[in-house]
Protein backbone atom coordinates (compact mmCIF):
# COMPACT_ATOMS: atom_id res chain seq x y z
CA UNK A 1 0.00 0.00 0.00
CA UNK A 2 2.82 2.37 0.88
CA UNK A 3 4.50 1.63 -2.47
CA UNK A 4 1.31 2.63 -4.30
CA UNK A 5 1.18 5.93 -2.42
CA UNK A 6 4.81 6.67 -3.34
CA UNK A 7 4.20 5.80 -7.00
CA UNK A 8 1.10 8.00 -7.09
CA UNK A 9 3.00 10.92 -5.54
CA UNK A 10 5.80 10.46 -8.06
CA UNK A 11 3.34 10.43 -10.98
CA UNK A 12 1.74 13.66 -9.74
CA UNK A 13 5.15 15.31 -9.34
CA UNK A 14 6.22 14.34 -12.86
CA UNK A 15 2.94 15.53 -14.39
CA UNK A 16 3.19 18.87 -12.56
CA UNK A 17 6.58 19.61 -14.08
CA UNK A 18 5.04 20.39 -17.45
CA UNK A 19 6.68 20.03 -20.83
CA UNK A 20 10.43 19.65 -21.21
CA UNK A 21 11.21 22.77 -23.24
CA UNK A 22 14.70 23.39 -21.89
CA UNK A 23 17.57 23.67 -24.35
CA UNK A 24 20.26 24.13 -21.75
CA UNK A 25 23.32 21.97 -22.33
CA UNK A 26 22.06 20.48 -25.58
CA UNK A 27 24.17 20.23 -28.68
CA UNK A 28 23.37 22.62 -31.46
CA UNK A 29 23.55 21.96 -35.16
CA UNK A 30 26.39 23.15 -37.30
CA UNK A 31 24.15 25.60 -39.14
CA UNK A 32 25.98 28.74 -40.08
CA UNK A 33 25.25 32.21 -41.34
CA UNK A 34 21.81 33.49 -42.16
CA UNK A 35 19.99 30.21 -41.47
CA UNK A 36 21.40 29.98 -37.96
CA UNK A 37 20.55 33.63 -37.24
CA UNK A 38 17.01 33.06 -38.50
CA UNK A 39 16.36 29.93 -36.44
CA UNK A 40 18.16 30.40 -33.14
CA UNK A 41 15.49 32.59 -31.47
CA UNK A 42 13.38 29.48 -30.89
CA UNK A 43 16.12 27.80 -28.86
CA UNK A 44 17.12 31.01 -27.07
CA UNK A 45 13.73 32.16 -25.79
CA UNK A 46 13.02 31.16 -22.17
CA UNK A 47 10.72 28.16 -21.87
CA UNK A 48 8.36 30.18 -19.67
CA UNK A 49 7.84 32.64 -22.52
CA UNK A 50 6.77 29.86 -24.90
CA UNK A 51 4.29 28.55 -22.33
CA UNK A 52 3.00 32.10 -21.71
CA UNK A 53 2.57 32.81 -25.44
CA UNK A 54 0.64 29.59 -25.99
CA UNK A 55 -1.66 30.40 -23.07
CA UNK A 56 -2.68 33.75 -24.57
CA UNK A 57 -5.31 33.86 -27.31
CA UNK A 58 -4.08 37.29 -28.44
CA UNK A 59 -0.42 36.22 -28.59
CA UNK A 60 -1.28 33.07 -30.51
CA UNK A 61 -3.34 35.09 -33.00
CA UNK A 62 -0.46 37.54 -33.52
CA UNK A 63 2.07 34.74 -34.09
CA UNK A 64 -0.36 33.00 -36.45
CA UNK A 65 -0.68 36.23 -38.45
CA UNK A 66 3.09 36.11 -38.86
CA UNK A 67 3.22 32.42 -39.75
CA UNK A 68 0.52 32.73 -42.43
CA UNK A 69 2.13 35.96 -43.66
CA UNK A 70 -0.80 38.22 -42.77
CA UNK A 71 0.99 40.29 -40.15
CA UNK A 72 4.32 41.46 -38.83
CA UNK A 73 6.87 38.97 -37.53
CA UNK A 74 9.14 39.16 -34.55
CA UNK A 75 12.39 37.19 -34.71
CA UNK A 76 10.71 34.38 -32.77
CA UNK A 77 7.68 34.43 -35.09
CA UNK A 78 9.90 34.25 -38.16
CA UNK A 79 11.78 31.29 -36.63
CA UNK A 80 8.52 29.44 -35.89
CA UNK A 81 7.30 30.21 -39.42
CA UNK A 82 10.48 28.72 -40.89
CA UNK A 83 10.30 25.57 -38.75
CA UNK A 84 6.61 24.98 -39.47
CA UNK A 85 7.14 25.34 -43.21
CA UNK A 86 10.24 23.07 -43.24
CA UNK A 87 8.49 19.95 -44.43
CA UNK A 88 9.75 17.96 -47.37
CA UNK A 89 9.64 14.36 -48.50
CA UNK A 90 7.53 13.28 -45.53
CA UNK A 91 10.01 14.56 -42.95
CA UNK A 92 9.18 17.24 -40.41
CA UNK A 93 11.73 19.89 -39.56
CA UNK A 94 14.87 18.38 -41.00
CA UNK A 95 16.86 21.40 -39.84
CA UNK A 96 15.71 21.16 -36.19
CA UNK A 97 17.83 20.38 -33.18
CA UNK A 98 16.23 18.06 -30.60
CA UNK A 99 15.33 21.06 -28.46
CA UNK A 100 13.78 22.95 -31.36
CA UNK A 101 11.77 19.87 -32.31
CA UNK A 102 10.39 19.57 -28.75
CA UNK A 103 9.47 23.25 -28.79
CA UNK A 104 7.80 23.16 -32.21
CA UNK A 105 5.92 20.00 -31.22
CA UNK A 106 4.75 21.69 -28.01
CA UNK A 107 3.61 24.81 -29.89
CA UNK A 108 1.73 22.78 -32.49
CA UNK A 109 0.13 20.52 -29.86
CA UNK A 110 -1.07 23.53 -27.84
CA UNK A 111 -2.28 25.21 -31.02
CA UNK A 112 -4.31 22.16 -32.08
CA UNK A 113 -5.75 21.49 -28.61
CA UNK A 114 -6.21 24.97 -27.15
CA UNK A 115 -6.68 27.16 -30.24
CA UNK A 116 -8.57 25.05 -32.82
CA UNK A 117 -9.64 27.98 -35.01
CA UNK A 118 -6.01 29.08 -35.36
CA UNK A 119 -5.01 25.46 -36.02
CA UNK A 120 -7.49 25.29 -38.88
CA UNK A 121 -6.20 28.59 -40.25
CA UNK A 122 -2.65 27.19 -40.26
CA UNK A 123 -3.64 23.95 -41.97
CA UNK A 124 -5.65 25.84 -44.59
CA UNK A 125 -2.73 28.18 -45.24
CA UNK A 126 -0.14 25.42 -45.56
CA UNK A 127 -2.30 23.15 -47.69
CA UNK A 128 -1.49 20.05 -45.65
CA UNK A 129 -2.12 18.72 -42.15
CA UNK A 130 0.93 19.96 -40.24
CA UNK A 131 -0.42 18.34 -37.06
CA UNK A 132 -0.31 14.88 -38.65
CA UNK A 133 3.23 15.56 -39.88
CA UNK A 134 4.38 16.30 -36.33
CA UNK A 135 2.05 13.68 -34.85
CA UNK A 136 0.46 16.11 -32.38
CA UNK A 137 -3.00 17.05 -31.18
CA UNK A 138 -4.34 13.54 -30.92
CA UNK A 139 -5.05 13.66 -27.19
CA UNK A 140 -6.98 16.92 -26.96
Q: How is the chain split into domains, by residue range? A: 31-133
Mention every residue, 6+ apart, whose C-beta is less than 8 A from residue 34. Answer: none
pLDDT at 6: 35
* 81: pLDDT strictly greater than 70: yes
pLDDT at 10: 34
Task: Quote the mean pLDDT of the chain.
Answer: 79
In the structure, what pLDDT confidence band is assigned to residue 21 with cuts at 50, 70 and 90? confident
0.75 exceeded by the pTM? yes
Q: Are 105 and 136 in contact (CB under 8 A)?
A: yes
Q: Taking residues 13-29, what's their average pLDDT?
A: 60
Report pLDDT digits (tens) over 25-80.
665 555 566 777 777 888 889 999 999 999 999 999 999 999 999 999 999 999 88
Q: Which of 50, 57, 75, 66 is nearest to 116 (CA)?
A: 57
Fold of 31-133: Antennal chemosensory protein a6 (1.10.2080)
* 87: pLDDT strictly greater than 80: no
Amino acid sequence: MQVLAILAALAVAVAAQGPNLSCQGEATTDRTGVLNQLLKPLANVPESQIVQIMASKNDVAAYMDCIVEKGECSRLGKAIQTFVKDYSQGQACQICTDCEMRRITYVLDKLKCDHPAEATRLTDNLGFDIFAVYNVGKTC
